């Protein structure tokens, strides 16, 4: 199997196999990494019964005041979680962008996290860097 096509769980995990079993799918490596990053950032430590340390403490910041300190803290939390749980990629602090769209009368505030990353396999070559954007 080539490095661009690998097996893994897609996200969200949907029962597709016989008897409603979740099965592996063959997907693009970037899609699998993006799913993994999404799971890391959207899981609060303690949510997974068999791996309570898994995840990211990003949701702790949701009701904090928007400030440079909050953005720096968010970047550090994200960077620490990705470095711990996703060994297939390299991420530097400058590769993480956190933006907040203010709430209006007709819409809620939106927090977007964009993570640019490099795949750590020298045999995997792409023209452009990879990124994932997650909306909280």
CATH of the domain at 75: 3.10.450.40
Specify the number of domains making up the chain.
1
Structure tokens at 35: 């799913």
* Structural domain harbouring 82: 5-12+23-121+130-135
Specify the pTM.
0.75
Most confident of 23-27, 38-42, 63-67, 132-136: 38-42
| Tens of pLDDT, residues 106-126 | 677 778 888 988 888 766 655
pLDDT band at 84 (very low <50, low <70, confident <90, very high): very high
Q: At 91, is the secondary structure helix, strand, or coil?
A: coil
- pLDDT of 11 reads 55
């Amino acid at each position: 199997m080539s490095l661009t096509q690998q097996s893994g769980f897609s996200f969200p995990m949907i029962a597709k196999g016989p008897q409603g079993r979740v099965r592996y799918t063959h997907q693009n490596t970037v899609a699998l990494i993006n799913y993994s990053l999404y799971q890391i950032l959207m899981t609060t430590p303690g949510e997974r019964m068999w791996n309570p340390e898994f995840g990211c403490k990003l949701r702790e910041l949701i009701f904090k005041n928007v400030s440079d300190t909050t953005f720096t803290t968010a970047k550090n939390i994200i960077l620490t979680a990705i470095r711990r749980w996703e060994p297939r990629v390299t991420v530097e602090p400058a590769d993480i962008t956190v933006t907040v769209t203010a709430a209006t009368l007709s819409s809620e505030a939106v927090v977007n996290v964009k993570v640019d990353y490099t795949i750590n396999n020298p045999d995997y070559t792409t023209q452009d860097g990879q990124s994932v954007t997650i909306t909280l």
